[in-house]
Amino acid sequence: MKKIPFLELVTPHVELEEQLVSVFRSALKTAGFVGGPMVEEFEREFAEFCGVQFCVGVASGTDALRFALIAAGVQRGDTVLTVPNTFAATTEAISQAGGWPDFVDIDGRTYNMDPQKLQDYLETQCHVDRATGRLLNENTGRPVTAIVPVHLYGQTADMDRILELAERYRLIVIEDACQAHGAEYFSRKENRWRKAGSMGRAAAFSFYPGKNLGACGEAGAVTTNDESIAERIRMLRDHGQAQKYYHDLEGYNGRLDSIQAGLLRVKLQHLVEWNRMRREVAAGYHQLFRPVAEIITPPYEPSSCNAVYHLYVVRSKLREALRMHLAEAGIGTGIHYPVALHLQKAYLGLGHKQGDFPIAEKVAAEVLSLPMYPQLRPEEQQRVAEEVLHFSGRAVAM
Ligand SMILES: Cc1ncc(COP(=O)(O)O)c(C=O)c1O
Question: pLDDT for 130-141, tens place per residue?
Answer: 999 999 999 999
Indicate the helix (H) or strand (E) that contains 142. none
The answer to whether 276 and 306 are in contact (CB under 8 A) is no
Indicate the helix (H) or strand (E) that contains 185. strand 184-187
Per-residue confidence band for 357, with pLDDT thresholds at 50, 70 and 90 = very high
pLDDT score of 288 more than 50:
yes
Q: Residue 90: CB within 6 Å of ligand 1?
A: yes
DSSP three-state, residue 56:
strand
- CB atoms under 10 Å from CB of 224, counted, come to 27
Residue-wise pLDDT tens digits, 320-355: 999 999 999 999 999 999 999 999 999 999 999 999
pLDDT value for 5: 97
Per-residue confidence band for 291, with pLDDT thresholds at 50, 70 and 90 = confident
The answer to whether 91 and 65 are in contact (CB under 8 A) is no
DSSP string, 233-281: HHHHTBTTEEETTEESS---B-BPBHHHHHHHHHHHTTHHHHHHHHHHH
**Gap from CA of 116 to ligand 1 centroid (Å):** 26
Q: Residue 175: CB within 6 Å of ligand 1?
A: no
- Contacts of residue 130, defined as CB under 8 A and 6 or more positions apart, other chains included, come to none
The ligand 1 atom nearest the CA atom of 179: 16
Mean pLDDT of 275-297: 93
pLDDT score of 393 more than 80:
no
Q: What is the DSSP letter of 350?
A: G
Torsion angle (degrees, nearest 10) of CA 174, 190, 186, 89? 0
pLDDT score of 396 more than 80:
no
Tell me the C-alpha to C-alpha distance, in Å, between residue 270 and each of 120, 223, 273: 42, 20, 5
Buried-exposed string 32-71: b where 16+ CB fall within 10 A, e elsewhere = beebeebbeebbebbbebbbbebbbbbbbbbbbbbbbbbb
The ligand 1 atom nearest the CA atom of 63: 11
**Gap from CA of 148 to ligand 1 centroid (Å):** 13
**Gap from CA of 211 to ligand 1 centroid (Å):** 9
DSSP three-state, residue 175:
strand
pLDDT value for 1: 78
ω into 285 cis (within 30 of 0): no
pLDDT value for 295: 85
* Amino acid letter, 269: Q
Q: Residue 153: CB within 6 Å of ligand 1?
A: no
Could you give the CA distance from residue 322 to residue 45 in angstroms, rounded to a whole number?
42
Buried-exposed string 329-355: b where 16+ CB fall within 10 A, e elsewhere = bebbbbbbbebbbbbeeebeebebeee
pLDDT value for 207: 98
pLDDT value for 392: 84
End-to-end CA distance of the chain: 22
Q: Residue 306: CB within 6 Å of ligand 1?
A: no
pLDDT score of 398 more than 70:
no
Mean pLDDT of 225-254: 97
pLDDT value for 397: 46
Could you give the CA distance from residue 215 to residue 231 in angstroms, rounded to a whole number?
24
**Gap from CA of 130 to ligand 1 centroid (Å):** 38
pTM above 0.85, yes or no: yes
Mean pLDDT of 263-271: 98
The answer to whether 339 and 364 are in contact (CB under 8 A) is yes
Per-residue confidence band for 60, with pLDDT thresholds at 50, 70 and 90 = very high
Q: Residue 357: CB within 6 Å of ligand 1?
A: no
Per-residue confidence band for 253, with pLDDT thresholds at 50, 70 and 90 = very high
pLDDT value for 395: 39
The answer to whether 69 and 97 are in contact (CB under 8 A) is yes
User: Average pLDDT over the chain, rounded to whole?
Assistant: 96
Question: What number of CA atoms fall less than 13 Å from residue 234's CA on the CB side?
Answer: 17
Q: Residue 334: CB within 6 Å of ligand 1?
A: no
Mean pLDDT of 370-386: 96
**Gap from CA of 290 to ligand 1 centroid (Å):** 32
Mean pLDDT of 371-386: 95
The ligand 1 atom nearest the CA atom of 208: 10
Phi, psi of 332 (to 5 degrees): -80, 145
The answer to whether 223 and 202 are in contact (CB under 8 A) is yes
Per-residue confidence band for 394, with pLDDT thresholds at 50, 70 and 90 = low
* Amino acid letter, 207: F
The answer to whether 122 and 169 are in contact (CB under 8 A) is yes
**Gap from CA of 60 to ligand 1 centroid (Å):** 8
Angle at 243 between CA 241 and CA 249, to 5 degrees: 25
Could you give the CA distance from residue 154 to residue 322 in angstroms, rounded to a whole number?
24
Atom 8 of ligand 1, residue of closest alpha carbon: 61
**Gap from CA of 88 to ligand 1 centroid (Å):** 8
Mean pLDDT of 14-33: 95
